[in-house]
A and B are shown apart, each in its own frame.
Chain A
Amino acid sequence: MKKSVILGVATIAGLAAGAAVAGTVDDVKARGKLNCGVTTGLVGFAAPDANGEWQGFDVSVCRAVAAAVLGDANAVEFVPTTGKTRFTALASGEIDMLARNTTWTFSRDVDLKFEFTGVNYYDGQGFMVPKALGVSSAKELDGATVCIQTGTTTELNLADFFRSNNISYEPVPIETNAEAQQQYLAGACDVYTTDASGLAATRATFENPGDHVLLPEIISKEPLGPLVRHGDHEWGDVVRWTLNALIAAEELGVTSANIEEMSAGTDNPEVNRLLGSEGTLGEMLGLDATWAQRAIKSGGNYGEIFAKNIGEETPIGLARGLNAQWTDGGLLYAPPFR
C-alpha cells in the first residue's frame, strides 16, 4: 500500500516533470526570457564587461537563440555555471540551454541524457613552452614538469599521450587557468597544457608573448557546442538550426551589413528560404518567418562573431583553422536549408 503511494507520487512527479520539460519553446516564450548557462568567465568565450553586460563567443550563441525565439537579443538571463554545476543546472531545468564551451563526448550525450545541438568551436588540447627551452615537438618533452588543471579531460588526454609515446612527465596540479598562468610564468613548470584556444588567450596576456611557443601537436579532439536536455526535440531543433543558420549565413555571404537588403529577396533561393522571404521554414520550427534574420542580426554571421570575439584582430588572435567553412578547408558544414 505504502509502496504504491510512493510510486504514484513518483509517477505524478515524473509526469509533471515531463510536461514541464516538453515545451521549452513555450516556456521561454511565456517567460519572455531565455535562461542560458555560460561559464563564470573564460576569455573570449564569455565574460561580463564593466557594465555587467555579457560578451563573448558562447554568449553570442545565446543571444542568437533569444533573438530567433523572442525577437530580442537582450532577452537572455545569463546563468553563470562552473564545471561542477553546469550539468545539474541544465538537467534540473534551471537553464534552457548550456553554451559553456562543453566538449561533446559520448557519455555526456548518451549517459547524462543531453543533446548536443552542433559544434560552434573545434578545439583540441595543445602545449605551450618557453622558447628558451628549445623544444619544437611535444615528443621531446621527456621528463618535463607539466602544469595541468585537475579533474578535466585534459588530464586524461595528457596521460594517454605520454604513455603512448613512451615518455615520462611530472604533473603540477593546478585549480584554475589564472593560477596556471602565474605558476607557468614563475617557472613552476616547463609546459602548460590546456585547450589550444585557452593557450592562445593565455599567451596573449603575457608581457612578451614572443618568448613562448605553442607546440604543433594537438593531442585531443574537443568539439565544443551548445547543448539542451534530452527529450524536447522541438527545442533542440530551434537551438540546432539557429546555430546552423549562423554558419550557413557565412557560407551564403549573408552578413549583418547586407542582411536588410538580402531579406527583401535575392536570386539565391536558399538565401530566400533562410531569411524567410520564401518557403515556410520558420513555421516548421514553430517560429515566425524571420527567425533566422533576427538571429543573424543579433551579432552577425558565424564568421563575424568569430572575428569580433576571438579572431585574429582581437588580442586572443585565433586563426580560423578547423573552424573555417568547409569550402575553405575547415569543418563547418551546415546542412541545407530546404
Chain B
Amino acid sequence: MSDVSFVRTEMLPEQAPPASEVGAIGWIKHNLFSSWFNSILTLVSLYAIYYVLSGILPWIFQSVWNADSLNQCREIMLENWGSTHGHACWAVINDRWLQLLFGFYPSHLYWRPILALILLLVALAPVLYSDRVPTKMLIFSAIYPFLMVWLMWGGTIWGPVSAALGFVVGWGAYTLLSKQLSELIGLIGAAVAAVIWWLVISGYFTGAMDSILPIGIEAVESRQFGGFMLAILLGVVAIGVSLPIGIVLALGRQSDLLIVKYMCVGFIEFIRGVPLITLLFVASLLLNLFLPPGTNFDIILRVMIMMTLFSAAYMAEVIRGGLAALPRGQYEGADSLGLNYWQAQRLIIMPQALKISIPGIVSTFIGIFKDTTLVSIIGLFDVIGLASAIRADTAWNGIYWELFAFIAALFFVVCFSMSRYSMYLERKLQTGHR
C-alpha cells in the first residue's frame, strides 16, 4: 500500500481576494461595467455629467464678484477670459444680497430679524428634539410668537402683551365656566371672552399701559418687509398655525356632530378647490374694495391669514389620511380604557396618526414655503419680486440667471433641511412594526 493521500491534510493559507473583485476596482467592475450594455450606459452617463459640469462649473467659479454694473462685469470678463459667455456676474449678488435677504428693512435694525430667527430655532428645539431638550423650554416656545411679532414690527411692547393676555382671559373663562356649567359652554365662553378682549378692551389696555410705562423699540412698517425674510416669516407663520388648525379640521371632518362636520368639509373643499393665487388676489384687492376707505388692514397680515387657511385645508386632508390608516382597534382600545374623546385623541390616536402622516405633513410644509414666492404677483417684494426690481435698475438690467440661482440656493437650503429633519424624525419614531 502506498502512502499516497488524496485528501489535503494541511489548510492552504488564506489568500487576498483578487484585485479585480475588491476595493475601488471591484466596486467599479460590479457596479459600472458588469456587462457590455452597462458599460455603454456608464460611458454615456459619464460624458453627460462631464458635459453639464464643464458648462456649469466655469460659469459658477470663473466669475466676477466685484463690479458696479452688468456692463462693467462684461468688460472684466472680456479682459480675463476673452468671452462674456459662460461666466456668472455674481457682482449683482455682492451688491444686493442684503436687500435680497431683508428687503427694505432698515439696515440699522437688521439685528432684529436675525435675533428673531435665532430665537425661532431656540423655540423650535423643544418641539423638534423633544428627547434632548428639557420640556420646560416649551414655556419659551409659547412666548415666542408674541416676542417675534414685537421684534419684527417693533413699537410698544404692550401690543403683543395684550394679545397674549387674550389667551389668559380665554383660559380663565374656560376654567371658571367649565367647572360650574359644562365643558362645551366653557369652550364657547372662553372664545367669546377672548374675542371681546381682543376687539374691545385690548386697544384701551395697550393705550393705558403705554402711557403708564412706555417700553418700546423703533416700529417698522409692513411695507418695508421683503426679501427672503418675508418668505421665512410667511412660511413660519403658515406652517406653525396651519398644523393645529389642520388637526382640528381633520377631527371635525370625522365628527358625529352634523354642523361641525359640514362646516369643516365645506371649508376644506372650498379652500382646496380654489388656487392660492386667487386667495391672494382676494386678500390684496377684493378686501380693499369691501373695507371702508382708510381702513388699515395690514397687507402682510392679510396674506398670512390666506396662506394659513390654504395650508390648513391641505394639512387637514393629510392628517385625515393618517387617521384613516389607523386600525379600528386603536379607537376601540381607547374606548375600552374609559378615555373620553379628547384623552383618546391626545394619548392614543394623534401620536400614531401624526407619525404616519409625517412625510405628507412635511411635503405640505415645503410646498407652502415655496408658495410664498407667489406674493410677488400682488406687489409684495419677496425675493422674486426684488429680483425683478433689481433688474429694473439701469446698472443691472439684463441680468437673469445669477439672481435666480441665488434664490434657488436659498430655498434649497431651507427645504432640504426640512426634508432631512422629517427623515430623522421618522427614524426616531420607528417602532419596528415592519
Quote the shortest CB–CB distance from B94 to chain A (angstroms). 11
Contact B397 A43 (CB under 8 A): yes
Chain A interface residue count, Cβ-Cβ cutoff 8 angstroms: 45
Contact B293 A93 (CB under 8 A): yes
Indicate whether A93 sits within 8 Å of B389 (C-beta atoms), given known contacts A50-B95, A207-B84, A315-B394: no
Chain B interface residue count, Cβ-Cβ cutoff 8 angstroms: 38
Q: How many A-B residue pairs have CB under 8 A?
A: 106
Q: Bound state CA distance, A94 and B400, in angstroms? A: 32
A314 cross-chain contacts in B, Cβ below 8 A: 394
Contact A40 B381 (CB under 8 A): yes
B393 cross-chain contacts in A, Cβ below 8 A: 41, 43, 47-49
User: Within 8 Å of chain B (Cβ to Cβ): is A181?
Assistant: yes
Q: Bound state CA distance, A41 and B386, in angstroms? A: 9
Contact A41 B391 (CB under 8 A): yes
Quote the shortest CB–CB distance from A109 to chain B (angstroms). 20
User: Within 8 Å of chain A (Cβ to Cβ): is B66?
Assistant: no
Q: Bound state CA distance, A48 and B224, in angstroms? A: 12
Quote the shortest CB–CB distance from B288 to chain A (angstroms). 4
Q: Which of A50, A92, A315 contacts B288 (CB 8 A)?
A: A92
CB-nearest residue of chain A relative to B292? Answer: A16
Quote the shortest CB–CB distance from A38 to chain B (angstroms). 10
User: Within 8 Å of chain A (Cβ to Cβ): is B104?
Assistant: yes
Q: Bound state CA distance, A42 and B285, in angstroms? A: 22
A165 cross-chain contacts in B, Cβ below 8 A: none
Indicate whether A77 sits within 8 Å of B95 (C-beta atoms), given known contacts A41-B392, A52-B104, A207-B74: no
User: Within 8 Å of chain A (Cβ to Cβ): is B379?
Assistant: yes
A315 cross-chain contacts in B, Cβ below 8 A: 71, 394, 397
A13 cross-chain contacts in B, Cβ below 8 A: 292
Contact A176 B388 (CB under 8 A): yes
User: Within 8 Å of chain B (Cβ to Cβ): is A204?
Assistant: yes
User: Within 8 Å of chain A (Cβ to Cβ): is B294?
Assistant: yes
User: Within 8 Å of chain A (Cβ to Cβ): is B70?
Assistant: yes
CB-nearest residue of chain B relative to A316? Answer: B394
Please name 16 further chain A to chain B contacts, defined as beta carbons within 8 Å, in addition to the given A88-B285, A91-B289, sorted by A numbering. A16-B292, A40-B376, A40-B392, A44-B394, A48-B389, A49-B393, A52-B104, A80-B379, A81-B379, A82-B377, A82-B378, A92-B288, A94-B288, A202-B397, A205-B398, A206-B398
**Mind listing 26 A-B residue pairs with CB under 8 Å?**
A16-B292, A20-B293, A39-B392, A40-B389, A47-B389, A48-B389, A50-B96, A51-B107, A80-B381, A82-B378, A82-B379, A84-B377, A85-B378, A88-B285, A88-B288, A92-B285, A92-B289, A92-B291, A92-B293, A93-B293, A176-B388, A181-B398, A181-B400, A205-B397, A314-B394, A315-B394
Name A's B-contacting residues (CB within 8 A). Answer: 13, 16-17, 20-21, 27, 39-44, 46-52, 77, 79-82, 84-85, 88-89, 91-94, 176, 178, 181-182, 201-202, 204-207, 314-316
Q: Which 9 A-B pairs have the closest CB atoms?
A: A205-B398, A41-B392, A92-B288, A47-B392, A41-B389, A93-B293, A52-B104, A20-B293, A205-B397
